[in-house]
């Protein structure tokens, strides 16, 4: 039974939801955070709030002793700023180097966690049109795919020390608080809503409640054969194309979906990130379903109504 859990990135969108669920289950959580005082205000109820500079493991690695699992979510928000060389390096290091140092710290302690659950993203696959994407697919050849590939390679090294590893390749998270949905809703309310690009790209969405529950499922899914492990796609089975997503969003908001937003406009607003927003990823979640996970939200309209109404 896993009862004591360390989590990084606890103050982020997914982290807050995971912490809430873990505390409701009576788990003891230790939060690794750059700002313990602020995180204590934002995420209440943890047993410990540990100052975490991923470049200084000696300050925090002993907390890894006697904890049952680590959930590693930390990473600079990819959508927070327009990308430049420095910001791309920060986004890379905050994921890849932090994971490398966490794994090396786990290797150094005597009583290692049983399980290491690390974030990743469907950006691993790149723009794949109508291809049906299982976890066995090769990565794309671009910055975001390299980030995800290197991230997962560093996480995978923890298996050398007898620790079960799961890398959660997360789709586009639907929440009223952050992300693409928060950016699209105001335009729809002003009768300016529409789909991105040609609208034919597959849109691997997932409800915030489901992505949080998938992390909990990954922690608990242990078996004699090793349980859920390796890379795991995390998107709704009810995947739709972008045009359908915009139409359903308009229906829920009682607004038309009239104005397709050309790629060059997204690029103008988002820079390099705009290319990835347009990627088509028809993500398969058979591995997750076969592990016994049952989605709360497979239907897009139901998911949007839950979030927005």
Region 280-307: mean pLDDT is 96
Contacts of 99 (CB under 8 A, 6+ apart): 72, 118, 151, 154, 155
State pLDDT tens for residues 112-127. 999 999 999 999 999 9
CA-to-CA distance for 106 and 112, rounded, in angstroms? Answer: 6
**Spatial contact of 296 and 209, defined as CB atoms under 8 Å apart:** yes
The pLDDT value recorded for residue 81 is 83
For 246, counting Cβ atoms within 10 Å of its Cβ (0-12 exposed, 13-18 middle, 19+ buried), the class is buried
- Predicted structure pTM score: 0.94
Please state, as a whole number, how many other Cβ atoms lie within 10 Å of the Cβ of residue 177: 12
Region 298-307: mean pLDDT is 97
Task: Name the token pair of 28.
Answer: 């003891």
Task: Name the token pair of 182.
Answer: 């928060």
pLDDT band at 277 (very low <50, low <70, confident <90, very high): confident
Region 6-11: mean pLDDT is 96
**CA angle 57-61-66, nearest 5°?**
170
The pLDDT value recorded for residue 268 is 54
State pLDDT tens for residues 81-112. 888 899 999 999 999 999 999 999 999 999 99
Q: Radius of gyration over alpha carbons of the chain, in Å?
A: 19
The pLDDT value recorded for residue 272 is 77
Host H or E run for residue 121: strand 115-121
- Name the average pLDDT for the chain: 92
CA-to-CA distance for 203 and 37, rounded, in angstroms? Answer: 37
Q: pLDDT at residue 222 above 80? A: no
Domain residue limits, the chain: 4-174+205-236+282-295
Please state, as a whole number, how many other Cβ atoms lie within 10 Å of the Cβ of residue 84: 11
CA-to-CA distance for 110 and 65, rounded, in angstroms? Answer: 7
> Can you name the CATH fold of 4-174+205-236+282-295?
Rossmann fold (3.40.50)
Q: pLDDT at residue 224 above 50? A: no
């Amino acid at each position: 039974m896993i009862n004591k859990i360390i989590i990084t990135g606890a103050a982020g969108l997914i982290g807050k939801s995971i912490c809430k669920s873990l505390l409701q289950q009576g788990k003891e959580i230790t939060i690794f955070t750059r700002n313990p005082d602020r995180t204590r205000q934002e995420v209440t109820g943890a047993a410990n709030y540990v100052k975490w500079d991923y470049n200084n493991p000696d300050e925090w690695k002993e907390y890894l002793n006697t904890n049952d699992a680590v959930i590693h979510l930390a990473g600079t928000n990819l959508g927070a700023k327009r990308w430049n060389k420095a910001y791309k390096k920060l986004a890379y290091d905050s994921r890849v180097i932090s994971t490398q140092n966490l794994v090396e710290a786990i290797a150094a302690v005597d009583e290692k966690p049983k399980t290491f659950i690390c974030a990743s993203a469907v950006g691993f696959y790149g723009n794949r049109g109508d291809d049906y994407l299982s976890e066995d697919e090769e990565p794309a050849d671009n910055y975001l795919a390299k980030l995800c590939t290197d991230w997962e390679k560093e996480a995978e090294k923890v298996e050398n020390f007898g620790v079960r590893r799961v890398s959660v390749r997360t789709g586009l998270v639907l929440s009223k608080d952050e992300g693409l949905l928060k950016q699209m809703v105001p335009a729809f309310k002003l009768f300016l809503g529409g789909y991105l690009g040609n609208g034919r790209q597959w849109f691997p969405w997932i409800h915030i409640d489901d992505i949080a529950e998938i992390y909990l499922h990954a922690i608990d899914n242990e078996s004699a054969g090793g349980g859920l492990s390796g890379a795991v796609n995390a998107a709704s089975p009810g995947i739709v194309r972008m045009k359908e997503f915009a139409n359903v969003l308009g229906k829920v908001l009682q607004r038309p979906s009239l104005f397709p937003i050309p790629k060059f406009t997204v690029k103008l607003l988002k820079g390099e990130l705009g290319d990835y927003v347009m990627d088509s990823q028809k993500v398969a979640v058979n591995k997750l379903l076969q592990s016994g996970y049952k989605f709360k939200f497979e239907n897009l309209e139901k998911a949007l109504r839950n979030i927005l109404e």
